[in-house]
A and B are shown apart, each in its own frame.
Chain A
């Protein structure tokens, strides 16, 4: 009967620890709330623009190549892709979320 008094958390201490850790992290992050929100909306706007570029059928399919490669192809064939997109892509070329197309996470 002694077993009944044991809690299930006794055998799964690791999970509990991890949870605590998560909470601690959350507590430590909040300080710059406004600035973060601002850059976040800018980022979201930029990504929205890039997604619109991805969905523009005139510049051909967007899967399997980077956004910049697609922009350059459109430029090569005289389709006048928006200059603003290129600037944005050159500025942020390290970030995969900017670099790769909307569908890049899906398997081909």
Chain B
């Protein structure tokens, strides 16, 4: 692990005379084979004239063969797979379809319009699930209400599943069992000879009102660039061969909503909050890219398009660091092969959205669930903004990643899961740096992951000091 590599050894080089007059040892950073595979997250033509019916149709077209196969594996090859239009009451069969959860509390644009009728707008909530929710399964032509052994609160709209059961006389379908598409096949991971690390960080939160994360951030940069600690630690830093910043580089505060509501003459001379923050980011990136390759993914609050897939930030925003070939501006979702290890992940919008619309709370649990559903963002386009694709649903996983991550989580969590066909996937939720001062390091050789914290105080201390302030 990284902590063993960089642990202070006895007779630290910091406490003795410098060995010679010149610079001292040079630790060569390992450079890795890198190939981005995010092509299908690039949106070429941007036509918004289409409806979202296409993405659901394409999703079902793509998933139906996969789920048919899975259903036959699970319930025997002679299982009766029916379309909803051929369904007979009381007959045991299997149906493949897209889930829809009808939710009373789901914010709706039509209800927002009803503000005109002087109704109170619905307050924002943490969760939108309620007791009155109903699960409905849709195929190409019809829909049916689901009942029985399926956890209503855990399911989310847009996931394609296969259910097994029978239709009752009252028109509801009683589910006895269901299955998801599960993990896709995985290509083999090459055996690496030495430990090498990829640093994952997210939620730098530049431009926030309280700049409390700046010290931690500078320590992070210094650690990666090898300007921290003694020779042992510096040689450890040289094994960090890539840095991945998973979104929300800017703070939410930079998104000034005042400008839209205030009259023009008041906001004429004010500068957008994000301008200063981007300049700060450019300077920070400059320090990093001079020493290590960096991938920058945009997130929810970053200046790029809002709908997923978010396109890479524009180079012209980084006049200092963009000249380095080591700066890679990537899309969100991100996919790349780093030394044969396939990374796939998002800046966390998909996970946060599922958290709001299901009973699941842990980001790690949701991450695993999306992998089992074989879909990065099932709630897009229902509750998560999404480009209206028509040909293919790019969020369906075609190949199983080795490292599957999501950014901007409240805490660091990681877990190694194993699939039925020998797949091995490391799930990582990258914590929000501005609130946790924590990044994480993934070992490409062993697929282990550990957090690196730059906070001088433990989480408990922070809570205490916050309490004191409020008194």
Contacts and interface: CB of A to CB of B under 8 A. Distances in A.
A64 B54 contact: yes
Contacts of A78: 65
Contacts of A69: 390-391
Interface in B24-67: 49-51, 53-54, 57-58, 61-62, 65
Contact of B391 (A63, A73, A108): A73
Contact of B390 (A57, A58, A65, A108): A65
A73 B141 contact: no
A73 B49 contact: no
Interface string A57-101: 110110111000100110011110000000000000000000000
19 contacts: A57-B140, A60-B53, A60-B54, A61-B51, A61-B53, A61-B54, A63-B51, A63-B53, A65-B50, A65-B390, A69-B390, A72-B391, A73-B58, A73-B61, A73-B390, A76-B392, A77-B58, A78-B65, A108-B51
B67 to A, nearest CB: 14
Contacts of B57: 60-61
Interface residues of A, number: 15
Nearest to A65: B390
A58 B53 CA distance: 13
Contacts of B391: 69, 72-73, 76
Q: Is the contact region of chain A dominated by helix, strand, or loop, or is it mixed?
A: loop
Contacts of B50: 63-65
Contacts of B49: 64, 108
Chain B interface size band reads: 10 to 19
B58 A60 contact: yes
A94 B140 CA distance: 31
Interface of B: 49-51, 53-54, 57-58, 61-62, 65, 140-141, 390-392
Given A63-B50, A72-B391, 18 more contacts: A57-B140, A57-B141, A60-B57, A60-B61, A61-B54, A61-B57, A63-B53, A64-B49, A64-B50, A65-B390, A69-B390, A73-B58, A73-B61, A73-B392, A76-B392, A77-B61, A78-B65, A79-B61
Nearest to B85: A57
Nearest to A78: B65
Contacts of B65: 78
Contacts of B58: 60, 73, 77
A76 to B, nearest CB: 7
Given A72-B391, A76-B391, A58 B54 contact: no
A96 to B, nearest CB: 15
Contacts of A79: 61
A64 B440 CA distance: 44
Contacts of A63: 50-51, 53
Contacts of B54: 60-61, 64-65
Contacts of B392: 73, 76
Query: Chain B CB within 10 Å — which of A60, A63, A69, A72 has the most?
Result: A60
A51 to B, nearest CB: 19
A47 to B, nearest CB: 23
For the complex of A and B, the 3 pairs showing the least CB-CB separation, nearest first, are A60-B57, A64-B50, A77-B61
Contacts of A108: 49, 51
